[in-house]
A = this chain, B = another copy of it.
Amino acid sequence: MKYVYYFGEGKKGMKDILGGKGLNLGVMTNIGIPVPPGFTITTQACKKINENNKWPEGLKKELDENIARLQEEMQQKLSDDNYPLLLSVRSGAAVSMPGMMDTVLNLGMNDKTVKVIANKTDNPRFAWDSYRRFIQMFGNVVMGIKHHYFEEVLDNVKETKGVKFDTELEIEDLKKVVKDYKKVVAEHAGKDFPQDPHKQLEMSIDAVFGSWDNKRAISYRRINNIKGLIGTAVNIQTMVFGNMGDDSGTGVLFTRNPANGEKEFYGEFLMNAQGEDVVAGIRTPKDIKKLKQINQDVYDELVEIYEKVEHYYKDMQDMEFTIQKGKLYILQTRTGKRTAQAAVKIAVDMVNEELIDKKQAILRIDPDQLDQLLHKQIDELAKKKHEVLAKGLPASPGAAVGEVVFDADTAFEWTKQGKDVVLVRVETSPEDIEGMNAAKGVLTARGGMTSHAAVVARGMGKCCVAGCGDIDIDYENSQFTVNNTIVQQGDYITLDGGTGELFKGRLPVKDPEVGGSFATIMKWADEFRKIGVRTNADIPRDAKVALEFGAEGIGLCRTEHMFFEGERIKHVRKMILADNETARKKALDNLLPYQKSDFKGLFEVMGEKPVVIRTLDPPLHEFLPKKEEDIELIAKEMQVSVEKIKASISDLHEFNPMLGHRGCRLGITYPEITAMQARAIVEAACEVSKENDLEVKAEIMIPLVGNVKELADQKKVVQNVIDNTLEKFDMDLHIMIGTMIEIPRAAITADEIAKQAEFFSFGTNDLTQMTCGFSRDDAGKFLKEYVQKGIYSRDPFQVLDQDGVGKIMTIAVEKGRKTNPKIELGICGEHGGEPSSVIFSHKIGLDYVSCSPYRVPIARLAAAHAVLKK
C-alpha cells in the first residue's frame, strides 16, 4: 500500500484517502498553480497508526523518499547550514473540520537554523520570533504541555521589560523567551525539545494523526453527522513567509464577490505580513486591486491563476496566497462561502457563462440559506459595532426594530398611533395574536423553536426571538432586565430573528432582495421538482405573500386563528360557555358571517387553486378569558355570575391539553360547530365561484382523527351541509373531505381511514409529539441535551425524525394508497418548509408539502433538490 503522495501524484476521486486539502493542493500543482511543494500522508496511514500505535511497514521509507524529493525540488534541506527547509504539518480529512485537529508550523527550526534564517533573511527578529512560536506550538500540540506555562514565560519577560505587547519585544528578549521555553519543555515533558527536524517531523505527524480522535474532533463529527471516515490525511508542505520584508506579503481572494455575487476580482492583502495578520484586524488590509501598483507581475499572475482555478473547479473559490520575496505562492483554494444573494447570482451567472448547467446551479444553493433573502436583515457592519445584549433562539428570521411593549393590547394601540413596536412576553398565547400581528417582532423569555410565539411568527413571516432565558421580565413595572441592563417600555430594541440576537437601540436594517437571479433559480427549480408546494395561511394577506413566493394552493388554513379578532372572540366565548345547544347555536349563528367572510377573502385570493381548511382544532379553554376583567365582561354579557364563568373555565382545565378534548373530538361533542364551519366554507366557495365565474377548490379537513369512525361521524355532518348548501345555490362544486394524519393510531389504521377520506395531510407537529412522546411546549428542557448527546441528531420538531415519525408516515402512505389509490397526500406541519423533510416527503411519494409563506421558495428549491439529488 502506498502511504505518501507527492503533490500531483493523486487523482480525482482520491479525496477519501488524501483528504480535501491534500487533493486540492495536488490538483493545483497539476494545473500549474504555484503551490509550495509538499506531499500528503494518507488517511489509511492514519487509521493504521491509530489502531496499532505504530507506523505501518514502509511508511518511514516513503516519508524519507518524499522528503528527499522535496529537498531536491526546493534546493533546501532540513537543518541545512545554508538553505534550511521549513515545513508545515497540517491535517486534512475528506470532510472539512475547521480547527478541530492539530497543526504544526515552522517545523525545522532549531538552535542552528534560527541563526541561518536570521542571516539569510536579514531579519533576526523574524527568525527568533518564528523559533519561539514553533517551540510553543510543538510543545503544546506535540508534547502535550499546557499553554499557560508558555504564556507565563512570555508574561514574565514582558513584565521584566515593562512592555505590554509581544511586538514590543526585541531580539534579545525573544532569545530569552526561547531559552525559557526550552526549560518549560524539559520540565513538563520530561525530555528536551528535539533539535533534529526529522525527529520533529515524525513526532508532529503522530500528533496530527492522533488528533483525529481527540474529544473535540469526535464531538464535531457527531454533531455534524460526519460518518464513514477512516481518519485524517496529513499534509507536509514547504513553509513560505509573507513577512520577509517589503517584497513579501500575504492575502486572501475570492474569485467573485462573496457578498453580492458580482463577477469581480475580490480580496485583500497586506505586505510584509503573515496570514493571521490579514484576519486579525490589527492592520487594515488593502483592496486586492491595489496590488497592481505594488507588483504588476504578481498581480497579473494572480489574476491568471484565479481565473484558471475557478474555471477548473467551476465554482467561486476562496484562496490564500503568499508572496515570498517577490514570488507568488497559492497556499490553499476552496469553495468560497457566500451570502444567499451571492449564491443565487453566481449560480445563475455561471449557467449563463456555460460553466455549469441548471441542475448544478440549483444544487449549488442551500435551500435553508434562502431564508436570508426573504427577510429584512440587520446591516452586518452595524451589527459588528453593537454589543449583543442577549441571545435567544432564532425562532423566525428577519429583523425587527421597535419600541418595547409588554402586552398585546399596547402593541396594537401603539401601532395604531404609528409607532413601531416589539412585543416582549414571557410566552405568548392565542390571546396575543392581534398584538403579534401589529408588532414588528416578538421576543419571548420562554419556549422553543416550536412554541406558540415561534410558530405563529413564522406563519406571519414576522421576526421572532424565542426562549431568551437571559431576560427577566417584570410586567408590573413594564420593564425587563438583562444582567444589569434595564430596558423599559418605550425603549428601542432590535431583534435578529436569524441569529436570535437582541440589541439595545435601533440598528439599520436592509430590505430583502428577491431580484432577477432569485426568480430565475425559482423558475428552474419548478422545472425539475415533482412535489407540489402549498402554504399554510389563515388570512388573505398571508395567502397573497405566499402566492408571490410561488405557492400553488393553501395546504392549511387554521380557522381558529380568526377567532380572536375583534368582536368574534366574544361570540366564541359565548359558544363555549353556552350550557345548552340552543344558546350554542345562537353564538354560532353570530360567528357564521365572520367565518364566511374570512373564507371568501381567502378564496378570492386563491382563485381556482386548492384551499385546505381545517375545522376547529385547539382545546376550547384556549379561547377563554384569563384576566379578571375579561371574565367579568363575558359574565355580564351572558347575564350569568362571574362564579359560573369561573367554574366553567375550571371545568375545562386539562392536565394534558395536547391529548385532551380538541380536534375532531370537539366536533363530535358539538356537531353544530362543525356544521357552522362547513356552512361558512361552502357558502363562501359558492359565492366566490359565482361572483368571479370560477371554480373554487375547497378541501375540508378534519383534525386529530385517530379512528375512522371519528372521520365518518364528522364527514356525515359536513357532507350534509355541502349537499344542502349546493342545492340552495344550485351549484355542483366538488368539495373534498379529508383528514389530518397526526395521531399514531391514524397512521397505523390509515387503510381504514383512507376509505373515508379524499385526502390525508400529515400534521407532523402533533405526529412528532405523539410518536416520540414529546410535548412541544415542554421538550425544550431536555431535547437540547438529547441533541448534544446525539440521541436525536436534530430537534425532531425542526427536522423530521425520519427514522421514527418518518417510518410511521411511510406506513400511513402505503396503507392509505392501498385502499384508496387516488388519495391526495400532503404534509402541513412545520416540517413542510424544512429542506431535508421536503426531500423525505418527495421520497415517500406525497403530492405536496405545505409551509409558511416565507418558506415557500425554500420548499420549491428543496423539492427540486429531491429530484436532482437522486
Contacts and interface: CB of A to CB of B under 8 A. Distances in A.
Interface stretch (A113-121, A499-507, A799-807): A799-807
Contacts of A239: none
Interface string A656-692: 1111110001001100000000000000000000000
A443 interface: no
A654 interface: yes
Contact of A775 (B654, B713, B744): B654
A789 B712 CA distance: 12
> Of residues A742, A743, A773, A792, which shows the largest number of chain B Cβ atoms within 10 Å of its Cβ?
A773
A709 interface: yes
Q: What is the oligomeric copy number?
A: 2
A791 B712 CA distance: 9
Nearest to A804: B745
B656 A748 contact: no
A710 interface: yes
A524 interface: no
Interface string A632-660: 00000000000000000000001111111
A743 B769 CA distance: 10
A658 B660 contact: no
Contacts of A777: 654-656
> Of residues A659, A661, A669, which shows the largest number of chain B Cβ atoms within 10 Å of its Cβ?
A659
B665 A782 contact: yes
B782 A770 contact: no
B745 A791 contact: no
A773 B808 contact: no
Interface string A727-755: 00000000000000011110011000000
Given A668-B789, A668-B791, A748-B804, A655 B772 contact: no
Contact of A773 (B770, B774, B803, B804): B770
A771 B659 CA distance: 10
Contact of A771 (B668, B748, B779, B811): B748
A811 B814 CA distance: 15
B749 A770 contact: no
A654 B776 CA distance: 10
Interface residues of A, number: 49
A790 interface: yes
A785 interface: yes
23 contacts: A655-B775, A656-B777, A657-B778, A658-B775, A659-B774, A659-B775, A659-B778, A660-B779, A669-B782, A669-B785, A706-B772, A709-B791, A713-B791, A742-B773, A744-B744, A744-B770, A744-B771, A744-B773, A744-B808, A745-B804, A745-B808, A748-B807, A749-B803
A385 interface: no
Given A665-B782, A804-B745, A808-B748, A791 B710 contact: yes
A372 interface: no
Contacts of A661: 778, 781-782
B706 A773 contact: yes
Given A656-B659, A669-B782, 14 more contacts: A654-B777, A658-B775, A659-B769, A660-B779, A660-B781, A668-B789, A669-B785, A707-B791, A709-B791, A742-B773, A745-B804, A749-B804, A766-B773, A770-B770
Interface in A782-819: 782, 785-786, 789-792, 801, 803-805, 807-808, 811
A171 to B, nearest CB: 51
**Which 5 pairs, one residue from A and one from B, show the smallest C-beta to C-beta distance?**
A659-B775, A656-B775, A744-B744, A745-B804, A660-B778
A782 B707 CA distance: 14
A704 interface: yes
A742 B770 CA distance: 11
A789 B659 contact: no
A773 B659 contact: yes
A792 B660 contact: no
A706 B775 CA distance: 13
B771 A745 contact: yes
A685 to B, nearest CB: 29
B745 A789 contact: no
Contact of A654 (B704, B770, B778): B778
A838 B707 CA distance: 23
Contacts of A706: 771-773, 804
A84 to B, nearest CB: 52
Nearest to A656: B775
A584 to B, nearest CB: 16
> Of residues A654, A748, A772, A777, which shows the largest number of chain B Cβ atoms within 10 Å of its Cβ?
A748
Interface string A435-463: 00000000000000000000000000000
A790 B710 CA distance: 10
Contacts of A710: 791
A645 to B, nearest CB: 18
A766 to B, nearest CB: 8
> Of residues A706, A766, A811, which shows the largest number of chain B Cβ atoms within 10 Å of its Cβ?
A706
B660 A657 contact: no
Contacts of A744: 744, 770-771, 773, 808
A459 to B, nearest CB: 20
Given A745-B773, A807-B748, A713 B782 contact: no
Nearest to A653: B778
A225 B10 CA distance: 75
Contacts of A704: 773
Contact of A789 (B713, B772, B807): B713
Contacts of A749: 803-804, 807
Contact of A786 (B655, B668, B779, B789): B668
Contacts of A766: 773
A743 B804 CA distance: 11
A721 to B, nearest CB: 19
A785 B709 CA distance: 13
Contacts of A801: 745
Nearest to A805: B745
Nearest to A427: B655
A22 B431 CA distance: 66
A560 B790 CA distance: 28
> Of residues A656, A658, A781, which shows the largest number of chain B Cβ atoms within 10 Å of its Cβ?
A656
A779 B669 CA distance: 12
Contacts of A804: 706-707, 745, 748-749
Contacts of A772: 706-707, 743, 745
Nearest to A785: B669
A705 to B, nearest CB: 10
